[in-house]
Amino acid sequence: MLNIGWFSTGRGTGSQGLINFVQNRLTETGANARINFVFSNRERGESEGSDEFFKLVDDFGIPLITHSSANFRKQIKARFSEHRVEFDRQVMDKLANVDADVCVLAGYMLIVSGEMCRKFPLLNLHPALPDGPVGTWQEVVWDLIETKATRTGAMVHLATEEVDRGPVVSYVNVPITGPKFDRYWADIEGKDLDQIKNIEGENLSLFRAIRDEQYQREPYLLFETIRSVSQGEISVMGETVLDGTGAILAGTMPHGLCLDSQIAESMLRTSEKAAD
């Protein structure tokens, strides 16, 4: 049984949706994996959004472990970045007695220290392809529009001290041209992007269409990656990703396991089930 540690700040519906999707899939498919604990850098009563997330975790019967980064900031009265290792050491102390073969960063809003990365194999979900933009999902989408990209996607990579650039575990491709997108690209042709950002912002039809394509696939990518690890199709040793034969699948960049076909098939089954 693959034991998974789930790290999330739990601040909104996206975090709830991810754990709900993966937990239900684990149950439905009888996968040889389980979420063994959830860790949050918020405590109960700290925020309405995280409290709703915690209720979902409780409903699933998953042990919840918390350590407030907000309270830690108040105690140190200094820049958090200068004390990140100290905070992570406190977190690791709290997790000393729980089992985790891999950990998932799913809406965890802190950058983890190198010490934490070396302690746990941390799988991070990033809304871009291995050779794509870094940053938040908003920054990624604007970069895709600015560079007139023809495809995007999402990836799961190992968290390292180099943000969004650790060894790639898996990824999914998403085309952002064709009938579904061409009219939106035409709408902004020849226009000033800074002006578009100021006037329309994230309400821009092209922005929303690109993000929707990523967002639909991210939960599937996360689950299929966990399934692949649990079945030995892929494994992690230190900062190296191996395939089922033990060959190196990812060094530092950029190739991982392409899950396009598995995700397309899974999304089709979900669509057919919803139509019944």
Which of the four pLDDT bands, split at 50, 70 and 90, describes residue 197? very high
pLDDT at 251 over 50: no
Instruction: Please name the CATH architecture into which domain 2-275 falls.
Output: 3-Layer(aba) Sandwich (3.40)
pLDDT at 86 over 70: yes
Three-state helix/strand/coil letters over the chain? CEEEEEECCCCCHHHHHHHHHHHHHHHHHCCCEEEEEEEECCCCCCCHHHHHHHHHHHHHCCCEEECCHHHHHHHHCCCHHHHHHHHHHHHHHHCCCCCCCEEEECCCCCCCCHHHHHHCCEEEEECCCCCCCCCCHHHHHHHHHHCCCCEEEEEEEECCCCCCCCCEEEEEEEECCCCCCHHHHHHHCCCCHHHHHHHCHHHCHHHHHHHHHHHHHHHHHHHHHHHHHHCCCEEEECCEEEECCCCEEECCCCCCEECHHHHHHHHHHHHHHHHC
pLDDT of residue 237: 76
Mean pLDDT taken over the chain: 91
Residue 153 in contact with residue 257, Cβ under 8 Å? no
pLDDT at 254 over 80: no
Residue 70 in contact with residue 188, Cβ under 8 Å? no
Which of the four pLDDT bands, split at 50, 70 and 90, describes residue 228? very high
Which of the four pLDDT bands, split at 50, 70 and 90, describes residue 179? very high
Q: Please compute the mean of the pLDDT values over residues 59-73 and round it to a whole number.
A: 96
Amino acid (1-letter code) at residue 82 = E
Q: Please compute the mean of the pLDDT values over residues 63-81 and round it to a whole number.
A: 92
Which of the four pLDDT bands, split at 50, 70 and 90, describes residue 163? low
Which of the four pLDDT bands, split at 50, 70 and 90, describes residue 164? low
Give the pLDDT confidence of 97-132 residue by residue, as tens digits.
Answer: 999 999 999 989 898 998 998 899 899 999 999 888
pLDDT of residue 166: 78
pLDDT of residue 146: 96
Domain boundaries of the chain, sorted by first residue: 2-275
Sequence-ordered list of residues with C-beta below 8 angstroms from that of 65, at least 6 positions apart, any chain: 37, 38, 39, 40, 94, 95, 98
